[in-house]
């Protein structure tokens, strides 16, 4: 990825995070990217593609924040991963998940839905793998999604509840009782 592409993607991400997906006009998006209109359209030919590029950029940043280390042989406590999600929410997403907001703004868009599904699946798979809880991806997803969706209303209270659920995961995982059909 070139510096210009990264600059555009970062600017688009910040513009959509700040203004939502229906409010910013093309001039607002162009200003956020710091490039000319011609350059913006050269790299991202439509508004729909701008949203997808912004979310792809968001996905990369989120994954780097929550999972900064490469997968190692030593398991990482699920509570540590949940703490990192809460740090992300405090700094980046105080109003809720940008991926869900994008899908809510255009519920019939299959590309947006696929990107949301891929983002959430990758997060759950990586968290399960790194915490040695393979097979519990569904439960992990529910814990993290619950944290993210309740964050705008409950903040740190959501984090405390998610961490309580994290303490139950090893027992549920060992017993096999938590697998979601």
Taking the domains of the chain in order of start, what are their residue ranges? Answer: 3-175
Give yes or no for residue 181 having a pLDDT over 80. no
What b/e sequence results for 10-28 when a residue is b if at least 16 CB atoms lie within 10 Å of its CB, and e otherwise? bbbbbbbbeeebeebeeee
- Classify domain 3-175 at the CATH superfamily level: Tetracycline Repressor, domain 2 (1.10.357.10)
pTM: 0.88
CA distance 36 to 4: 11
77: left (phi over 0), alpha (psi -120 to 50) or beta: beta
More confident call, 95 vs 114: 114
- Average the pLDDT over each of 28-37, 68-77, 150-159, 170-179 and give the range with the smallest value: 170-179
Summary mean pLDDT of the chain: 91
Q: Do 87 and 65 touch, CB atoms closer than 8 A?
A: yes
Q: pLDDT at position 118, please? A: 97
């Amino acid at each position: 990825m070139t510096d210009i592409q990264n600059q555009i993607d970062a600017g688009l991400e910040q513009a959509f995070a700040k203004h939502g997906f229906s409010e910013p006009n093309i001039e607002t998006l162009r200003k956020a990217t710091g490039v000319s209109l011609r350059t913006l359209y050269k790299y991202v030919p439509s508004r729909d593609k701008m949203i997808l590029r912004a979310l792809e950029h968001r996905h990369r940043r989120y994954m780097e924040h929550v999972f900064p280390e490469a997968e190692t042989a030593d398991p990482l406590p699920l509570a540590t991963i949940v703490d990192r999600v809460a740090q992300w929410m405090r700094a980046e997403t105080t109003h809720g998940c940008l991926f869900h907001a994008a899908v809510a703004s255009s519920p019939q868009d299959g590309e947006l839905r696929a990107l949301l599904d891929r983002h959430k699946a990758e997060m759950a798979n990586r968290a399960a793998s790194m915490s040695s809880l393979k097979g519990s991806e569904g439960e992990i997803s529910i814990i993290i999604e619950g944290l993210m969706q309740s964050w705008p209303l409950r903040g740190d209270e959501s984090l405390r509840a998610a961490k309580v659920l994290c303490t139950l995961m090893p027992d549920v995982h060992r017993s096999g009782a938590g697998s979601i059909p």
